[in-house]
Amino acid sequence: MELKNARVLLTGGSSGIGKATAKLLTDKRAKVLITGRDEAKLKSVALELGCDFIAADSGVETEIEKIFEKVDSLWGGLDVLINNAGIGSFQPIEDLTFDAFDEIFKVNVYGAAVTAKHAVIRFKNQNKGHIINIASSAGLKGFSNGSVYSASKFALRSMTQCWQGELRKHNIRVMLVNPSEVTTAFASSERVEREDVSNKLTGFEIGHSIVAALEMDDRGFIPELSVWATNPF
């Protein structure tokens, strides 16, 4: 697809992978709307990058509806959804609770699904569109203390495959990106960005992969893409 003037909704866009991807997209002259829960941080990033923003919680259905009211008022349509908003918690099996699953699944699974629903309504009206879901290497293989988070990313991977089967006939490309460990503020209670480490991934490697997948001609798509650090050891 041509990214110049493409209308892109990017959830979780105030830091890390989201911010890096928003920068790469605005550099391509796409029109970008970023979301997140911290309005002050979003506003700062939007001013820095030259994009639009709306403060909204991707784990609350009424907040997602508010996002699409903004989409419609800005552009009257949408070309790309990047489901990047995500949270994590990590605990041993003895500490698992219903609440722990609810908290993570509301954003990583339910929120991603409902956001995609609203995007697809608009995509079907124009008979084209693009969805990129940001999952994780944790959606490929579980790990110690990862029951909740890993399960959420396995679920997102499964939903991606379901949507691929359902939406290809409408010229809607649905793609999954699985980052390995990235030095961001993810899972930091203070939401402070971690310092870059020379042999670990940054948000820009993931953003580059997202942009490259989108820029492929619309006649083809990459169903799933995993990004690993070459030598993180």
Cα 80 to Cα 203: distance, rounded to the nearest angstrom: 19
Q: Give the pairing type, strands 7-10 and 31-36.
A: parallel
Q: Tell me which residue has tokens 């124009």.
A: 126
List 110, 149, 163, 186, catalytic entry: 149
Tokens of 209: 């992969």
Structure tokens at 83: 């489901």
Asked if 110 is an active-site residue, the reply is no
Q: What is the DSSP string of 34-80?
A: EEES-HHHHHHHHHHHT-EEEE--TTSHHHHHHHHHHHHHHHSS-SE
Sign of CA dihedral 44, 66, 189, 158: negative
Active-site residue list: 149
